């Protein structure tokens, strides 16, 4: 018998772009008051299906209070790495951490849209005992294991020691141990990603648990105590080789998005807010010829003036709404960077063909703290564009509307009922909200990250360059 790699593994971004379009999305549902268990919704994305845009299956967990947030696949195209690959694994399991409980669920989605089931539960005691970390957050599948970033370190409040990254076994899903050998200046953690052939990783910073679990701490924000650094790592050496401080006023350096083509040694980071002027910003980082990493602010997004009567208590004194850049995502051809402005209710599309000079190419508005723009299909949309996912062919951009339960309540006190919507991208890059696509979720839930069947733009790592 001939054994072949999973057909959803692609050697290069160009090959992934040519793959069949997605027909399913997996979207996290969370109960903000922990009155119900969190869950996973399977959404039909096939336009020819009678259940298009509807939830066709829901899987709810056996516990409450997990707070689902980010999640990822057990294996992706990085399995084709010539250095340390495991090409005969399947993209079959979703690794779903609870950032409040520190519990991790392994969900098997093989067998069709209604077959999703819990395969294994990793209890928080194992996370604590084997890593000393807590609050698992971002999942990335690498050729040698599943990498999990955390937001908390040791101690009851997760702030007794720095958070970091740990590794899970790809087959057993047992926790192997901490990633870091030498963490250098890194003392906060948020996102991370890598360039596998070039053997480096970049990570970013949000905050320690006391600064986010019960809501944003205004005094800490105005004192510039949230994260504002990028860290660069020798990936296989597991050591921090360089730290770049973006400036203390650039608070909350969150998502990092390296170029998908491994030939390109650059990427982007979104910064939530500049405390001197309430701007959001996009930064481009790159590796220079001398081997050193550099970073530069390449785009800014201004706040919007607003009637204080429309603002939550947190913002009334400013008379303005900051954009609050909470997610960014890069299309597989490395051409378009999508930026969610959760505060102002705007999804921005930048042409980043020149990564040092992003050009605003498109924009749609929905939700927003002051704008409160309804969906074009006539439905109310609360919150703003938040977690973004792009189809492999770049023609569809999906997003949800919840940031984090306690932060939702501060910025959107009237509530953030779960929503998932879509924009279509035209042949020349035109961005248009789809008035017929609006996913309804069970009452009382909020929606967060999305994963697409067969991989997506914030999941896959590629080991081979695209043909030119």
> What is the pLDDT at residue 84?
81
Question: In Å, what is the CA distance from 211 to each residue of 65, 157, 342, 416?
Answer: 19, 10, 19, 21
C-beta separation of 27 from 418 below 8 A: no
Which domains are assigned to the chain?
A: 13-452 (2.130.10.10)
> Distance (Å, rounded) from C-alpha 399 to C-alpha 439?
11
**What is the reported pTM?**
0.98
Q: Taking phi first (over 0 means left), then psi (-120 to 50 degrees means alpha), and beta for anything else, what does residue 192 get? A: beta
C-beta separation of 55 from 39 below 8 A: no
Tens digit of each residue's pLDDT (9 = 90 or more) over 234-276: 999 999 999 999 999 999 999 999 999 999 999 999 999 999 9
C-beta separation of 127 from 165 below 8 A: no
**Whether the predicted pLDDT of 468 surpasses 80:** no
**Whether the predicted pLDDT of 1 surpasses 60:** no
Which among 447, 434, 357, 368 has a CA at the least distance from the CA of 395? 434
Backbone φ and ψ for 375, nearest 5 degrees, come out as: -65, 145
**Whether the predicted pLDDT of 465 surpasses 90:** yes
Tens digit of each residue's pLDDT (9 = 90 or more) over 279-303: 999 999 999 999 999 999 999 999 9
Tens digit of each residue's pLDDT (9 = 90 or more) over 69-111: 999 999 999 999 987 878 889 999 999 999 999 999 999 999 9
Average pLDDT over residues 56-70: 98
- DSSP label at residue 182: B
Tens digit of each residue's pLDDT (9 = 90 or more) over 110-120: 999 999 999 99
CA 440 to chain centre: 22
CA 422 to chain centre: 17
> Distance (Å, rounded) from C-alpha 226 to C-alpha 192?
17
Non-local CB neighbours of 100 within 8 Å, separated by 6+ positions:
34, 65, 66, 67, 135, 213
Give the E-state strand segments of 45-162 in sequence order: 55-60, 72-73, 93-97, 104-108, 117-122, 134-142, 145-152
Radius of gyration of the CA atoms of the chain, in A:
20
Tens digit of each residue's pLDDT (9 = 90 or more) over 298-355: 999 999 999 999 999 999 999 999 999 999 999 999 999 999 999 999 999 999 999 9
Average pLDDT over residues 204-210: 98
Length of the chain: 468
> Distance (Å, rounded) from C-alpha 126 to C-alpha 102?
10
* Residue 32: burial class (beta carbons within 10 Å; 0-12, 13-18, 19+): buried
Q: Which helix (H) or strand (E) holds 300?
A: strand 293-301
Which among 207, 206, 136 has a CA at the least distance from the CA of 165? 136
C-beta separation of 301 from 360 below 8 A: no
Angle at 179 between CA 178 and CA 182, to 5 degrees: 105
C-beta separation of 91 from 149 below 8 A: no
> What is the pLDDT at residue 3?
73
Cβ atoms < 10 Å from Cβ of 388: 26
Cβ atoms < 10 Å from Cβ of 52: 15
Residue % of the chain over a pLDDT of 90 = 96
C-beta separation of 394 from 316 below 8 A: no
């Amino acid at each position: 018998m001939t054994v072949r790699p999973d057909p959803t593994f692609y050697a290069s971004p160009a090959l992934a772009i040519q793959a069949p379009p997605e027909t399913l999305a997996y979207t996290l549902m969370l109960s903000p008051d922990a009155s119900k268990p969190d869950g996973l919704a399977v959404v039909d994305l096939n336009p020819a299906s009678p259940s298009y845009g509807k939830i066709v299956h829901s899987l709810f967990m056996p516990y409450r209070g997990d707070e689902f947030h980010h999640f990822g696949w057990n294996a992706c195209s990085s399995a084709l790495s010539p250095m340390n690959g495991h090409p005969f694994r399947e993209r079959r399991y979703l690794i779903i951490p609870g950032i409040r409980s520190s519990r991790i669920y392994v969900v098997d989605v093989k067998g069709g849209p209604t077959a999703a089931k819990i395969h294994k539960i990793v209890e928080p005691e194992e996370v604590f005992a084997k890593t000393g970390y807590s609050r698992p957050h971002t999942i990335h599948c690498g050729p040698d294991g599943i990498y999990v970033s955390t937001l908390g370190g040791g101690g009851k409040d997760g702030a007794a020691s720095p958070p970091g990254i740990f590794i899970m076994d790809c087959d057993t899903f047992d926790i192997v141990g901490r990633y870091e050998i030498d963490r250098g200046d890194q003392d906060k953690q948020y996102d991370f990603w890598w360039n596998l052939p070039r053997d480096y990783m970049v990570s970013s910073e949000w905050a320690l648990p006391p600064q986010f679990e019960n809501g944003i701490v205004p005094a800490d924000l105005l004192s510039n105590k949230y994260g504002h650094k990028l860290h660069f790592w020798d990936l296989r050496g597991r050591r921090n080789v360089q730290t770049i401080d973006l400036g203390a006023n650039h608070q909350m350096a969150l998502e990092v998005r390296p170029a998908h083509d491994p030939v390109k040694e650059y990427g982007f980071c979104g910064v939530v807010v500049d405390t001197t002027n309430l701007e959001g910003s996009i930064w481009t980082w790159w590796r220079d010829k001398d081997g050193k990493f550099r970073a530069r602010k390449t785009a800014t997004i201004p706040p919007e003036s607003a009637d204080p009567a429309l603002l939550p208590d947190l913002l009334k004194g400013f008379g303005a709404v900051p954009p609050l850049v909470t997610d960014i995502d890069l299309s597989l051809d490395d051409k378009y960077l999508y930026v969610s402005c959760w505060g102002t209710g705007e999804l921005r599309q930048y042409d980043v063909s020149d990564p040092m000079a992003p050009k605003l190419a498109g924009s749609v508005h929905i939700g927003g703290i002051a704008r409160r723009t309804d969906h074009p299909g006539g439905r109310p949309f609360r919150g703003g564009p938040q977690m973004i996912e792009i189809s492999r062919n770049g023609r569809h951009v999906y997003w949800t509307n919840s940031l984090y339960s306690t932060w939702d309540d501060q910025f959107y006190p009237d509530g953030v009922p779960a929503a998932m919507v879509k924009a279509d991208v035209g042949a020349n890059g035109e961005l248009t909200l789809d008035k017929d696509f609006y996913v309804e979720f069970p009452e009382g839930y909020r929606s967060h990250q999305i994963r697409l069947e067969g991989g997506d733009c914030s999941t896959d790592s590629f080991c081979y360059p695209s043909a030119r």
